[in-house]
């Protein structure tokens, strides 16, 4: 089958203007009238104080520690000692009744939930602004940018956004699994530059790549027993054999050589596969390989995303490599 399948779905709304991503206002406009200014017995009262300034997580946790300190003191008293009863009496004298303590804890936990929710809102607003600014800055610099289902394709990488966190991937394979938060666009720019440096480390020189692909294809073809069409090699099998080819090339040059690529993630293979296909026209015809799609069942089970080099080109799903 030579028909390709377009991965992109229906036109996506702008990530920063769709209802679920609309900003809820600047930090200064957050309503703090419902926030609690919880206090403990040591100098402050437990009550609602709508006119008091909003507190941070550290302050609320500090008050919780004060409330819980007597209980912790009780657990630290060494029982059975000569002075243990006296020590227990001293600690108990500082301990509030159960009902009072429970109320104080409940109030402080309520305030803590509100403070955390407000902090998360501020963080999300910062992240949205940072992502929007980064995309605008990249566009202004002349680098190709295109909105995608998950975020933005930025040159050969894709900036994927989830709950206002981000990471970079190639052909829908994450370069790093960790999701990150951004307070400003420079945080994303730094990660983007690190991702570009990382992906370039796995790029194989074109002449070597063409030779290694030819050898790998021949080996894979020879392993297809009784096939009526031995030209079709599944990409997933090709990837595994390609790793063996890489090791063989290193060992043939020097048996005790440290492998050039001790690891070679799927995204690194797909990156080099796309580079090979992009330059296939310069490969000798008898060794030239091309991508081929499969059935829906084959694609769902064994398909790989390709065509990630150019953000203006749609992603495709392919299953086989063939030699024409």
**Do 152 and 68 belong together in one domain?**
no
pLDDT of residue 198: 97
Per the domain annotation, does 3 fall within a domain?
Answer: no
Residue written as token pair 């609602």: 48
24 occurs within a structural domain: no
Q: Where are the alpha helices (DSSP H) in the chain?
A: 57-76, 84-93, 98-140, 185-201, 206-222, 235-253, 266-278, 296-302
pLDDT category at 224 given cuts 50, 70, 90 is confident
Q: Do both 251 and 292 map to the same domain? A: yes
| 104 in Cβ contact with 38 (< 8 Å) | yes
Q: How confident is the model at residue 148 (pLDDT cuts 50, 70, 90)?
A: very high
Which residue, 126, 148, 180, sits at the end of a domain? 126
Total count of domains within the chain: 3
Specify whether 175 is located in the same domain as 235: no
pLDDT at 48: 34
pLDDT in tens, 275-311: 999 999 888 888 899 999 999 999 999 999 999 999 9
**1 falls within a domain:** no
Q: What is the pLDDT of residue 35?
A: 32
At 74, list the tokens.
């009780």
For residue range 12-50, list pLDDT tens digits in order: 444 443 334 343 333 333 343 333 333 334 333 343 334
- Alpha-carbon distance 231 to 323, whole Å? 6
Q: What percent of the chain has pLDDT over 90?
A: 51
Report if residue 108 sits inside a domain: yes
Same domain, 190 and 84: no
Q: 87 with 102, same domain?
A: yes
List, for residues 196-217, the tens digit of each pLDDT value: 999 999 999 999 999 999 999 9
Whether 100 is in a domain gets the answer yes
Is residue 112 over pLDDT 70? yes
Out of 126, 141, 160, a domain closes at: 126
CA dihedral over 126, 129, 134, 135, signed as positive or negative: positive
Q: Write the burial class of residue 215 (CB in 10 Å: 0-12 exposed, 13-18 middle, 19+ buried).
A: middle
Q: How does pLDDT run across 88-102, given as a tens digit for each residue?
A: 777 677 666 667 778
Averaged over 65-79, what is the pLDDT?
A: 71
The answer to whether residues 178 and 213 belong to one domain is: no
- Do 121 and 148 fall within a single domain? no
Where among 174, 201, 228 does a domain terminate?
201
Residue 73 in any domain: the answer is yes
Looking at per-residue confidence, does 132 or 16 come out higher?
Answer: 132
Is 15 among the domain residues? no
Residue 6 sits at φ, ψ, to 5 deg, of -85, 125
Say whether both 269 and 288 belong to one domain.
yes
**93 φ, ψ (degrees, to nearest 5):** -65, -25
Q: Which of 22-26, 121-125, 185-189, 308-312 is the least confident region? A: 22-26
| pLDDT > 70: percent of the chain | 77
Global pTM reads 0.70
User: Residue 145 pairs with which residues in a beta bridge?
Assistant: 154
Which residue range is the domain that position 73 belongs to?
A: 31-126
Judge if 213 and 261 occupy the same domain: yes
Same domain, 287 and 246: yes
HSE at residue 155, side-chain half, CA atoms within 13 A, is 11
Which residue in 195, 196, 197, 160 sits closest to 179, CA to CA? Answer: 160
How far is it, in rounded angstroms, from Cα 148 to Cα 160?
A: 9
172, 315 Cβ separation under 8 angstroms: yes
Q: Is the dihedral of CA 68, 69, 70, 75 positive or negative?
A: positive
Burial of 211 (0-12, 13-18, 19+ CB in 10 A): middle
Task: Let me know whether 238 and 288 are in one domain.
Answer: yes
Q: Count Cβ atoms within 10 A of the Cβ of residue 281 and give its class: 0-12 exposed, 13-18 middle, 19 or more buried.
A: exposed
SS3 113: helix
The answer to whether position 13 is within a domain reads no
């Amino acid at each position: 089958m030579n028909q390709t399948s377009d991965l992109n779905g229906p036109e996506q709304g702008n990530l920063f203007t769709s209802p679920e991503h609309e900003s809820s206002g600047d930090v200064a406009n957050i309503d703090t009238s419902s926030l609690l200014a919880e206090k403990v017995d040591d100098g402050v009262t437990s009550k609602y104080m709508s006119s008091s300034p909003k507190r941070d997580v550290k302050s609320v946790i500090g008050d919780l520690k004060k409330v819980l300190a007597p209980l912790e003191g009780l657990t630290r008293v060494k029982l059975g000692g000569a002075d243990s009863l006296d020590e227990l009496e001293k600690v108990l004298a500082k301990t509030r009744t159960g009902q009072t303590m429970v109320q104080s804890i409940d109030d402080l936990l309520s305030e803590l939930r509100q403070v955390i929710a407000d902090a998360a809102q501020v963080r999300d607003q910062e992240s949205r602004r940072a992502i929007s600014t980064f995309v605008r800055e990249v566009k202004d610099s002349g680098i190709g940018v295109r909105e995608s289902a998950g975020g933005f394709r930025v040159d050969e990488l894709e900036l994927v956004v989830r709950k206002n966190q981000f990471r970079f991937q190639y052909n829908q394979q994450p370069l790093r699994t960790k999701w990150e938060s951004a307070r400003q666009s420079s945080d994303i720019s730094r990660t983007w530059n690190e991702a570009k440096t990382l992906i370039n480390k796995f790029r194989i020189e074109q002449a070597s790549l063409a030779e290694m692909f030819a050898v790998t294809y021949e080996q894979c073809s020879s392993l297809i027993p009784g096939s009526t069409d031995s030209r079709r090699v599944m990409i997933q099998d090709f990837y595994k054999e390609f790793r063996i080819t890489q090791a063989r090339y290193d060992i043939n040059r020097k048996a005790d050589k440290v492998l050039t690529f001790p690891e070679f993630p799927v995204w690194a293979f797909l990156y080099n596969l796309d580079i090979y296909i992009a330059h296939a026209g310069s490969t000798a015809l008898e060794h030239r390989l091309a991508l081929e799609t499969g059935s829906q069942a084959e694609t769902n089970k064994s398909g790989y995303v390709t065509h990630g080099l150019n953000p203006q080109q749609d992603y495709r799903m392919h299953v086989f490599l063939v030699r024409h």
